[in-house]
Structure 1
Amino acid sequence: MLGYTLNFVLSKFLMDPICGKLDYCLEDLLSVIENDILGDVFEHKKVDKFAAKKKETRKQKSFETLKLVAQSITFRTHAVQLLSLVTVHLQKQLTPKLKSKLENMLDHIAVGIGLNPSSIRLNYSFNQTELFILVYQLIKDGTGDENQGLQITQISKAGKRDGDTVYIQMTDSDRLINVDPRYSHLVTSFALGLL
């Protein structure tokens, strides 16, 4: 019921997404979401006889809550922490059911990031370069790419190259995530979806 209540409160509180509104309590929110989707709470919902009687236990709203959270954090500083909710589970053996839940979580995070004001308007702290760097790093981590440098050529509004090139040095110690190679395609697919 906590997951349902959290979704209700956030959906009323965040009628219009505000960048950074949930940064201060992200860890607590992710804990509730994780317990509702992956933890004992979900298992109790299936078993308890009263589950069919209450709307709070019939509907799982934590996937929708995850989208609300993703659209209300500061992308630059909290995207990796948000992703860790899923990536921590990609380091071990997954059942098909758990894999499906994690894919669903990644889908909702991607939709939320797409609606995040910091990813839509350039007057916020987010810009396309940050998104490209995150996408590159996730794909690199997911594929095990050994390239140590990333070259980004800045494009002008007219679509022509400015000639300014930004070099970003990345090493193995710069990995954002560690995942089991069997599930790295989930991260790569998520990154391409963000792009």
Structure 2
Amino acid sequence: MKAYLVSILLVGLALGGMGLGTFAWFTDQEAVENNVVQTGNADLVVWTYNANGAYNQPLSVSGVAPSVDEWTDMGYIGLWNKGSTDLKWQGYLVRTAGDLSMDKFQIKLTTNPESYGSKYAPGSHLWGDDGKMQEFAWSQVNTAADTLLTAIEEPMEPGYYQVFKVEAKLDPSAGNAYADKSATLKVVFDATQFANSGWTEAYVATPA
């Protein structure tokens, strides 16, 4: 009986000693090499066809006159999301030269017109409302801050493109002071990720 009790006591001491020490575990480690993280990009490509059918040439128009509903054809502007992220964009016009006062200038854009045709398209995915017509006064498209020429409601997905037929005229109230004048315009398109609340690279967290 005594020996049996001692045996139990020794086992208890051994277990207690194990509890006071450090456990060890069998382990293994495997690794998968050469993983790559590639960032995306925002890349809005813009191209033109002028009224004479010349590719990537400035849009040029002559004989623009005051009118209620007669527009003069300037050509086409195309946009293509060549990047890898959903985009939103805004466009505006800047006068860079000339003596034409722009306050009577008006512009009309027709989205994806049938007259354009698909042969000039960089892809097969048209984006936007086909045949939609928008008319703008100069004051509505001459600054980035206030332009109404925007695509911000729905994302322009990668690979999609959009084409605008561009037409111009003068407001019916334009008189002789606007005759024999000219202006050179630059059309600017700002593009950014659709999720960006602004238009710059700077990130601003959305309040919770």
> What's the TM-score bracket when you normalise by the shorter of the two chains?
under 0.3
- What TM-score do you get using the length of structure 1 for normalisation? 0.23
- Larger RCO of the pair (alpha carbons < 8 Å, separation 6+): 2
More strand by share: 2
More helix by share: 1
- What TM-score do you get using the length of structure 2 for normalisation? 0.22
